[in-house]
Amino acid sequence: MSTLRLLALELAYRGSDFHGWQRQPGERTVQGEVERWCRRLCNEELGVVTAGRTDSGVHARASLCTFRTTSTLSGERLLRGLRKVLPADIRAIRLHGFEDLEFSARFSARWRRYGYRICEVPDPFRAPTAWCLEGRLDHERMEQALKPLSGRTDCRAFCVTQSLPEAAICWFHSAGITREGEEWVLRLQADRFLHSQVRSTAGTLVAIGQGKVPVTRIAELLQSGERAKVGPTAPPQGLFLEAVGYPRFRTGLPLTSHGMDERVMQEGETAGVDEPLPALVHWKGPSHGTREQAIEAARQASGGVESPKHRR
């Protein structure tokens, strides 16, 4: 009888030609492509669960998806095979194997980090991966506006109404905007994000940077919970899922080499914040963590701050 294994595939993809992550009948999706090729290589039916179900046109630099399989195919052969057969706009970066069958790309995550890229000039070469505007943005105003996004925050105003969950609390680790070359990059890191939350925040922040709305607008929205005053939803092409944090590692760590190096991580062993890891990693012992641990990690990262929030 074959042994059940839990594997996690670290992925990068360009979302321009995908109808989002989640499989949909008749549409090209990232999940559809990944599942199709994993099933063929493992020669069995399986489903993948991801850390971030990105929308149509959104990209990922280091996402993670988990699946269970009874295939005896080695990790090296599976990763080599996926790198060969996946389309050019999806890259299989690393394959993790877990002794802990409770690990989940989605439910074991402690935090997600998104980056939204903004260009201040129309640029046909940057347009596929950034929101290209015309006119300068005021960095000081934008940086000031982001300060309320810290610690426990009620983000219902930034979620599209039809997707609003009963509980809209997010624990923010950090929020900031920096200059990288010709682009501004808004980075938000929290335990979770609501539907369209980052893009709604980016649209509101741009309106603040342009001087169209008060610098206090984000704080006001967190206090009131009223979506009507949120800025325009920023277009999807500027949004990247940059990294996902787990109890023992994060995605997006550098590769030790371009080869198929392997490493066994013993029980209790963790990867450093920027420690390179090989293409194949085997994790011994518990790895999944809990929701309470994720919130505690966010609380510590933010200094235990509670932001203005709307109570119901």
| 55: annotated active-site residue | yes
Going by the DSSP 8-state scheme, the letter that residue 51 receives in this structure is S
Exactly one of 55, 89, 138, 261 is catalytic; which is it? 55
Tokens describing residue 44:
């069995």
- The strand pairing partners of 174, in sequence order, are 189
* Spatial contact of 172 and 298, defined as CB atoms under 8 Å apart: yes
Residue with tokens 């971030």: 52
Question: Cβ atoms within 10 A of the Cβ of 150, count?
Answer: 20
Distance CA 12, CA 290 (A): 26
Residue with tokens 């640029």: 123
Tokens describing residue 82:
């996926």
* Spatial contact of 282 and 271, defined as CB atoms under 8 Å apart: no
Q: Using CA atoms of 253, 199, 47, 17 in order, give the dihedral in degrees to the nearest 10.
A: -90
Phi then psi dihedrals of residue 48, to 5 deg: -110, 145
- Measured CA distances, 69 to 21, 39, 50, 113, 264 (Å): 21, 9, 16, 29, 20
Q: Which helix (H) or strand (E) holds 142?
A: helix 139-145
* Residues designated as active site: 55
